Structures are given as structure tokens and as C-alpha cells.
Amino acid sequence: MIRALPACLLLLLATPALAQRFDSGAPIDVDAGRIDIADDANEAIFSGDVVIRQGSMTLNADRVRITYLKDANGNPQVQRLDALGRVRLAQGAMRATANTGIYDVNARLVKLAGNVKMDRDGNHLEGARVVWNLNSGTSSFDARSAANPGGRVTGRFTVPAKKPS
């Protein structure tokens, strides 16, 4: 039973609010210092303190490339967001930082990689990569990389105050 307790804590923390209450059908709003559009390549590159909001999620980065397809009327339909440089993701009480981030809109997957740090309600995890599956509400935190195949995930979890008996 004692060995199962840390695993339960990991599961509790690893399923962030992002996967639990996120509306991936909400419009995507972008604010940036600059936009370069390559319509023939179906991409737009935003740079300069980029802020992207969708529902309750906010993504900040130095640069974000949005790839899209055009519908029958020629309107862009966002497929994927690739964030690079000082990537920060916030949703509810969850805050995460990384070197890069990918949001696959159709697959409903959010991936952060490179020096990933996540905080929520006083709990903290660090590793090389985290993947949130917004369909299933699950996540996976990993510390392995090509440069560090034996990498380890580290964490610190809060312990509730003991109630007087």
C-alpha cells in the first residue's frame, strides 16, 4: 500500500486541469508583434512576445508557427501550432514552461519538450517532455532524451496538513 501511494500522487498531478476542462473547439486568438503569412504553404508565423488563447488555455512563446488547411470557401482551419523559445503554458492552476511546444489541434495533443517544468497547486514536476492527450484526459511525463537516455523525472508533492483529532 505504501508503494502505491507515490504512484497515486503522480497520477493525480500528471492529469492536469488542461486535460480535464479544456474546450478545444473554442476559437484561437493570437496577439503578436509581427505576422508573416505564407498562404501558398498554408502557414502563418507569429513573432514578438506571442500570446495565444483558446478557451481557458494561454500559450506564450517568442515565436509560433501556425499551419492550416483551407476549407471549401478558402477559409483557414488551424491544424497545428509549433511554439519556440520561452514557451509557457497556463490553464487554471497549472503552469508549465519548456523550450518548445506543439499543439496538434486535430489529434488534441499538447506536447512540451526541453527542460519542462510544471507546477500546480504547490506540486512540481521536471523532465524532458510531457504529452497531454486532451481526448482521454491523460498525460505522460518523460525525462529520457537522446543526450540522456537514462534521464529521470523529478517531482515534489505537497502533503495536506494533518487535521487535529
- Here the CATH number for the domain that contains residue 106 is 2.60.450.10
Q: Is the pLDDT of residue 12 over 60?
A: no
* CA distance linking residue 90 with residue 92, whole number of Å: 7
Q: Which has the closest alpha carbon to 111: 122, 98, 123, 120? A: 98
In a domain, 17, yes or no: yes
Across all residues in the chain, what is the average pLDDT? 83
The DSSP code for 8 is H
- Report the pLDDT averaged over residues 119-142: 86
Report the pLDDT averaged over residues 17-25.
60
pTM (two decimals): 0.78
**Measured torsion, CA atoms of residues 49, 82, 37, 32, in degrees rounded to the nearest 10:** -10
The predicted pLDDT at position 164 comes to: 78
Tell me what pLDDT residue 145 has.
67
Q: How many domains does the chain have?
A: 1
Rounded Cα–Cα distance for residues 134 and 115 (Å)? 22
Q: What is the pLDDT of residue 18?
A: 47
Q: Please, which pLDDT band fits residue 148 given cuts at 50, 70 and 90?
A: low
* 144 in any annotated domain: yes
Return the pLDDT at 152. Answer: 75
pLDDT digits (tens, 9 = 90+) for 48-83: 999 999 998 999 999 999 999 999 998 899 999 999
- Give domain status of residue 135, yes or no: yes
Structural domain boundaries, residue 82? 4-156
Q: Is residue 129 part of a domain?
A: yes
> Residue range 129-133: average pLDDT?
89
Element containing residue 160 per DSSP (H, E): none
pLDDT at 121: 87
Residue 161 lies in a domain: no
